[in-house]
Structure 1
Amino acid sequence: MKPLTKLALRMGVLSLAAVSLSGCSFLGINFAMNQMSEKECMMRAMYFESNRSSAEGMLAVGTVVMNRLNDARYPKSVCGVVGQKNQFASGVLTKPMTDSGAVLASQVADQVLRGSRHPGVQSAQHFHTAGMRFPYNNMYYVLEAGGNEFYEKRDPRSGRLL
């Protein structure tokens, strides 16, 4: 077999293997994210990041995703925002959703993608598990919901959003 043909065959096998690994990363490309709808990515963020029985918590997480989507510093798609490394729960785009919380997440995702927002979240683009505290003076807390505390990053001197 000619060297070019062998290379083409190997590339074809690698491509097929990568696609068959749906949900895995190959050469830095997340194939699961490419196959998911914006709704599924939103559902997964809300499902894995909030108390699965709390519509309010899910709405708050969804609002943060949309706040980031509307900021030039973040990716320009829901899946891009949710799939950003070290920003949401580990495995958010790959783990199975196994309980009735997925039904609620689907309903709330529809609401968020149609324009619903949690008013308490305001401009917050960040949250962490409720009850944790950090020594930073730029975290301005606006809401606790669904087991999370939501905050805006503000300049401590001027109060302006960062």
Structure 2
Amino acid sequence: MLASSLGACSLFGMQFGMARLSEKECMMRAMYFESNRSSPDGMLAVGTVVMNRLYDSEYPKTICGVVGQKNQFAQGVLTKRMTDSGVVLAAQMADRVLAGERHPGVGPAQHFHTAGLRFPYNNMLYVLEAGGNEFYIKTRRR
């Protein structure tokens, strides 16, 4: 039962629980899979959203918990292989976010979706487009 509640990562083809991933690795994975793998600006924005959620009582209290929360980030974000040069950039950007850097355009936003999509909701205040995503703050319905 416990194994089914944990995310997993693969090392040499063996499955391990999410607890094996460091906070940096979880941050890297969110940035890598959510920001087109090559945009420092987009990676910083995604990392800022992760940190904004981390400090909100509505979300889990660890980076891995935030990133691994069901239906919040790309499917398989904690299990898929990172295979290209974007890994190096993700590691660099994760270090910057973990050291306290934030994207100034994101502000308190805790949400984003793929750029170009439009939704009929009237409670989304868009604040930034970066790395193929649009970042927004949920507001009271207008």
Q: Same fold (TM over 0.5)?
A: yes
Q: Hey, what does 2:12 align to over in structure 1?
A: none
Q: Hey, what does 1:131 align to over in structure 2?
A: 116
Q: How many residues are aligned here?
A: 134
Tell whether the 8 Å contact from 1:32 to 1:94 is kept in structure 2 after alignment: no
For the pair 1:62 / 2:51, whether they are aligned, the reply is no
CA distance in 1, matches of 2:80, 2:4: 20
Tell whether the 8 Å contact from 1:127 to 1:150 is kept in structure 2 after alignment: yes
Q: Hey, what does 2:86 align to over in structure 1?
A: 101
> Alpha-carbon deviation of 1:52?
1.0
For the pair 1:28 / 2:5, whether they are aligned, the reply is yes
> Alpha-carbon deviation of 1:51?
1.6
Mapping for residues 138-149 of structure 1, pairs under 5 Å: 138-149=123-134
What RMSD in Å do the two structures reach over aligned CA positions?
1.4
> Alpha-carbon deviation of 1:26?
2.8
- The structure in which a higher percent of residues are helix is 1
CA distance in 2, matches of 1:81, 1:29: 13
CA distance in 2, matches of 1:95, 1:82: 13
Higher relative contact order (CA 8 A, sep 6+): 2
- Provide structure 1 residue ranges, at least 5 long, that are not aligned to the other structure: 1-17, 19-24, 158-162
Moved over 6 A (4+): none
Q: Hey, what does 1:50 align to over in structure 2?
A: 35
Matched residue type, 1:69: L
Are the structure 2 counterparts of residues 29 and 52 from structure 1 closer, same or farther at C-alpha, using a change threshold of 3 Å? closer
Give the match's secondary structure for 1:92.
Answer: coil
Tell whether the 8 Å contact from 2:3 to 2:17 is kept in structure 1 after alignment: no
- Which of 51, 68, 76 is the aligned partner of 1:83? 68
Q: Hey, what does 1:41 align to over in structure 2?
A: 26
- Provide structure 2 residue ranges, at least 5 long, that are not aligned to the other structure: 8-15
Matched residue type, 1:71: D
Tell whether the 8 Å contact from 1:139 to 1:152 is kept in structure 2 after alignment: yes
> Alpha-carbon deviation of 1:32?
3.3
Matched residue type, 1:89: A
Q: Hey, what does 2:137 align to over in structure 1?
A: 152
> Alpha-carbon deviation of 1:33?
1.5
TM-score when normalising by structure 1? 0.80
Considering only CA atoms, is the larger Rg found in Structure 1 or Structure 2?
1
- The structure in which a higher percent of residues are strand is 2
CA distance in 2, matches of 1:27, 1:153: 31
Tell whether the 8 Å contact from 1:50 to 1:147 is kept in structure 2 after alignment: yes
Give the match's secondary structure for 1:65.
Answer: helix
